[in-house]
Chains A and B, each alone.
Chain A
């Protein structure tokens, strides 16, 4: 049963208020942010890295990044502080996995980039992105083909490159790229449909 969307919106607004406080150098607000999302940030880092100490390091670094770059966060953004924090965690964890230096600007959420290119208030996904519940995302994942889902999960939650996914699954590289691309499109279509994933599956896309 999906979360109350109003509650999700209220939470996002609270998060924005926290971010404003963090921008004003209120470290208690950063502590609040940790209390809210430290656990899930750790869970994501742990999945990508496989050990607690490194995952904790990454979480610490992520919160420091949030602190340093709070001024570049824009309140009212769809989705808000949680996706921003988690994308920072994800990027740092992948850096660690691949042992490489990397642009910190990558940690700017892609959602901000996307929306900065063009403000797309009519986009159906935008309308619901802030209220999507965890159960909905999980349900949407089940609408992907097994191959697409495997590829997307290996990429996102295990941090594999497309080459590594190809080797692991035995699929050609181009096929992996296609699965990642189509998988994301499928997820978007399902999640953007406010009727919900079950009804969507009976709808246009089949499979």
Chain B
């Protein structure tokens, strides 16, 4: 993608900005001025840190946002800057509380009242969600869920008995874990996931956006410990995963059946010792008898079953995927009965094309 590239390290020396200095905390950090060359994909030597303002203001297009988050994962100076500046963005909308409205660049100025029935509509939508529960399949005596390989699961489930939505203690986040019989070959991986510390994962779930799925994935590989410590300790491994030109990413998006807010990024490395990771967000948490399942698709061939997983309360998950995923042309996600299926039994919710292109 062709973009205007700056030459300078600092903003243009226009008269009203000439004496603006970057904060001391940034300029004094050894890594800040010159980013390591091997981490840049399309960006030139001056670029990565400068995007932090645009990033936080959501002024970066998708591909640049992903690139910046990948950079953020391995740049402590930028992590510091994100931490400093993110709260500033949070308070910006407060000016809208002022009456009269202050002059803000751009249009419009005159803001109408929202429709008087908006409140009612919201509550009605919320009550719809409350009563929408899935079929309740009871687990078998040994705790395993028998996968219904032959049964067609209707998408709009009929409640056998209405069950109130479970209450959750504040701040608790469930990690994305597989249920029942996983179709991945590495059973010990999933065991280690279930032992991870919950408090740490709460922080991790929120940090996934800032530092990218890479941190999450590495942390899920059985490395229990403080997320901060992991970021620092694993910087080299992260850089290795991203690689100079070896790590690429593919974007997933929802189909007409999938949640409109959902998206996913498949980070895959062409290096054999680093498992690719699928990071998903915006997915709808499923009822207890269903899991999501990833499918590998090569051209017109039948989809090959991949790992099953669930999403946390925030609708996010990070799923290690088969290392040969680059040999496929597409991936897809469906919601299947617990334990997964040998062939998709439900409509595809998410799909992504793996043509080696990034973003």
Q: In the complex, A31 Cα to B84 Cα: how many Å? A: 33
What are 24 A-B interface contacts by the 8 Å CB criterion?
A: A24-B167, A25-B130, A25-B165, A34-B119, A40-B96, A72-B314, A74-B170, A98-B61, A101-B260, A103-B316, A105-B209, A108-B205, A108-B209, A109-B86, A110-B210, A111-B87, A116-B202, A117-B82, A129-B91, A174-B6, A176-B54, A178-B53, A182-B11, A184-B56
Q: What residues of chain A lie closer than 8 Å to B114, measured between beta carbons? A: 38-39, 42, 52, 55-56, 59
Secondary structure dominating the interface of A: helix
Q: A113-B209, A152-B57 are in contact. Are A90 and B83 (CB under 8 A)?
A: no
CB distance from B246 to the nearest CB of A (A): 24
Q: In the complex, A27 Cα to B111 Cα: how many Å? A: 28
- List the 3 shortest-distance A-B pairs measured between CB atoms, nearest first: A174-B6, A178-B11, A104-B282
CB distance from B79 to the nearest CB of A (A): 6
A194 contacts chain B at the CB level, 8 A cutoff: no
Q: What residues of chain B lie closer than 8 Å to A205, measured between beta carbons? A: 20
B313 contacts chain A at the CB level, 8 A cutoff: yes
Residue of B nearest to A172 (CB): B4
Q: In the complex, A126 Cα to B59 Cα: how many Å? A: 24
Q: In the complex, A105 Cα to B208 Cα: how many Å? A: 8
Looking at chain A, what size class is its interface with the partner chain? 35 or more
Residue of B nearest to A50 (CB): B108
Residue of B nearest to A164 (CB): B59
A-B contact count (CB 8 A): 362
CB distance A117 to B227 under 8 Å? yes
Q: Which residues of A contact B (CB under 8 A)?
A: 19-20, 23-25, 27, 30-31, 34-35, 38-40, 42-44, 46-47, 50, 52, 55-56, 59-61, 63-65, 67-69, 71-75, 78-79, 83, 86-87, 90-92, 94-95, 98, 100-106, 108-118, 120, 123, 125-126, 129, 132-135, 137-138, 141, 145-150, 152-163, 165-166, 171-189, 191, 205-207
Q: In the complex, A135 Cα to B95 Cα: how many Å? A: 7
Q: How many residues of chain B get a CB closer than 8 Å to chain A's CBs?
A: 109
B143 contacts chain A at the CB level, 8 A cutoff: no
Q: What residues of chain A lie closer than 8 Å to B83, measured between beta carbons? A: 114-115, 117-118, 120, 123
CB distance from B26 to the nearest CB of A (A): 9
Q: What residues of chain B lie closer than 8 Å to A73, measured between beta carbons? A: 170-171
